[in-house]
Amino acid sequence: MYTTYSDLADNVRKAAIDLLQARLADAVDLATQCKQAHWNVKGPNFIALHELFDGIATDVNGYADLIAERIATLGAIAEGTAVVAAERSKLPQYPLCIALGTEHIEAMRTALAGFGKAVRANIDQAAEIGDQGTADIFTEVSRGVDKNLWFVEAHTQADR
């Protein structure tokens, strides 16, 4: 870690960085999953889903940037390459052989819900180690992921 005048203890910064690096890998993976859906969706709701998935990819890239900048702020190097994300991501692999909008909705729902669950766990973990700034970042990301999950799930809830 780089030297910093931050008043956070080194052990707190290290623990927060570990949490952030894990979510950065997931965010990079999730952004590519969103683009996979965006590029390949087919069916009667094509344009709505094509645009939705692209918008979510933009949001997720923003979360990745926020997380990476916090890592740098805490004195570490953000490890956010595609190769690192592929090695470390805890998200399920996105199915490559799907096309129908309903299939992509289900795959995106699964990916967003998994990412959101991990981020929410990190809120509490960051608070427990004494880094409220990192907890706040995870809270911001959680709100955005929940909103995007709502947008995706709304496509399945009309019949209820």
pLDDT digits (tens, 9 = 90+) for 3-48: 787 888 899 999 999 999 999 999 999 999 999 999 999 998 999 9
Residue 54 domain-assigned (yes or no): yes
CATH number of the structural domain spanning residue 50 = 1.20.1260.10
Residue 5 domain-assigned (yes or no): no
21-51 burial, b if ≥16 CB within 10 A, otherwise e? Answer: bbbbbbbbbbbbbbbbbbebbeeebeeebbe
Residue 120 has pLDDT above 80, yes or no: yes
Residue 47 domain-assigned (yes or no): yes
pLDDT digits (tens, 9 = 90+) for 42-85: 998 999 999 999 999 999 999 999 999 999 999 999 999 999 99
Residue 77 domain-assigned (yes or no): yes
Residue 121 domain-assigned (yes or no): yes
Whole-prediction pTM value? Answer: 0.94
Residue 27 domain-assigned (yes or no): no
Please count the structural domains in the chain.
1
Q: What is the DSSP string of 113-133?
A: HHHHHHHHHHHHHHHHHT-HH
Residue 28 domain-assigned (yes or no): no
Residue 127 domain-assigned (yes or no): yes
**Structural domain boundaries, residue 43:** 10-22+34-156
